[in-house]
Amino acid sequence: MSAIELYAVRKAFNEGRPNEFLAVDGVDLEIEPGRITVLTGPSGSGKTTLLTLIGCLARPTEGRVHLGGESVSGLPERFLTELRRRTFGFVFQQFNLIRGLSVLENVMLPAYPLGPHYSTLHGRAMELLTHLRLGHRAEARVEWLSGGEAQRAAIARALINDPSVVIADEPTANLDSHLSAAFLDIVAELRSQGRTVLLTSHDPLITGAGVVDRVVAMRDGRVV
């Protein structure tokens, strides 16, 4: 299990231009493995940007991100892709499922570049969907799903490559309280499987949930 450590991480957008903007400003943080951590704070506080840096979706402008003791912030693109593929599973705020494809196809998508045997991949995707109570919707196109179903499909997609870290950005922003509670149940289960879970949220239902191990507050790009 790999710990995630951040040292003096800064992320600037539009660098050197008049509209330069500092989204993350000198963050030092350690995220413990196998636990549920929530980044919270108002809009524009830098939570999502910090998630993209931790999840190897972007590189910091300054500072270092360590994964399992190794610096990953300077790695070339293809190594970052490999890390992203094998270590992280993402659940996006808008779920970002690809329209026009079935639930099953969306779930299998992250595994395509690995070229697994089709029956193995299909079996694993169905297993995840069934576990998340979506087995009966496997062949449905994603645009026909309800909000809760779409989120569970996104979770299944995040888990298809069996990642050790699951990252979710504002996972309950589009869900009612009942569905948010169901999401927390899934998160608890992920932790019980030994996965690290990192969420961003300003939903009190999440930040105040008993299952959450740690809440990190942010404001103006800094941890407060």
Partner 1 sequence: MHWFAKQRYLIDYTVAAMLRRRAKNVGLLAVYTTIVFLLASVMLYSNALKQEASVLLKEAPELVVQRMVAGRHDLIPADYLEPLRGIRGVRRLEGRLWGYFYDSTVNANYTFMVPPERDIDPGSIVIGDAIARARGSETGDVLAFRGAGETLYPFRVAEVLPHESAIVAADLVLLSEADFRGFFGIPPGKFTDITLTVANPKEVRTVAEKVVSALPDTRPILREEMQRTYASLFDWREGMVLVLLAGALLAFAILAWEKASGLSADERREIGILKAVGWGTGDVLKMKLWEGGLLSMLAFLLGFTLAYWHVFGTSAALLAPALKGWAVLYPNFELTPAVDGLQLTSLFVITVFPYTASTLVPVWRAAVTHPDVVMR
List interacting residues with partner 1 (CB under 8 A). Answer: 48-49, 51-52, 57-58, 77-78, 81-82, 84-86, 90, 92-93, 96, 98-101, 105, 109-110, 112-118, 157-158, 161, 169
109 within 8 A of 158, measured Cβ to Cβ: no
What is the DSSP-derived secondary structure letter of residue 185? H
In the bound state with partner 1, the residue whose beta carbon lies nearer, of 29 and 83, is: 83
In the bound state with partner 1, the residue whose beta carbon lies nearer, of 81 and 130, is: 81
The least distance separating partner 1 from the CB of residue 104, rounded to whole angstroms, comes to 12
In the bound state with partner 1, the residue whose beta carbon lies nearer, of 64 and 122, is: 122
Task: Pull the structure tokens for residue 219.
Answer: 């404001």
Helix (H/G/I), strand (E/B), else coil: 145: coil
Please give the Cα distance from 40 to 68 (Å, whole number).
Answer: 24
Please give the Cα distance from 220 to 212 (Å, whole number).
Answer: 23
Please identify which residue in the block is written with the tokens 């009942």.
Answer: 178
What is the distance of C-alpha 85 from the center of its chain? 12
In the bound state with partner 1, the residue whose beta carbon lies nearer, of 86 and 202, is: 86
In the bound state with partner 1, the residue whose beta carbon lies nearer, of 16 and 210, is: 16
The least distance separating partner 1 from the CB of residue 213, rounded to whole angstroms, comes to 23
In the bound state with partner 1, the residue whose beta carbon lies nearer, of 48 and 180, is: 48
Please give the Cα distance from 191 to 173 (Å, whole number).
Answer: 21
The least distance separating partner 1 from the CB of residue 134, rounded to whole angstroms, comes to 17
Residue 3 identity (one-letter amino acid): A
The least distance separating partner 1 from the CB of residue 83, rounded to whole angstroms, comes to 9
What is the enclosing helix (H) or strand (E) of 120? Answer: helix 118-131
Quick one: which of 61, 16, 25, 18 has its CA closest to 45? 25
The least distance separating partner 1 from the CB of residue 177, rounded to whole angstroms, comes to 25
The least distance separating partner 1 from the CB of residue 178, rounded to whole angstroms, comes to 26
Asked whether the CA dihedral 52, 55, 59, 62 is positive or negative, the reply is positive
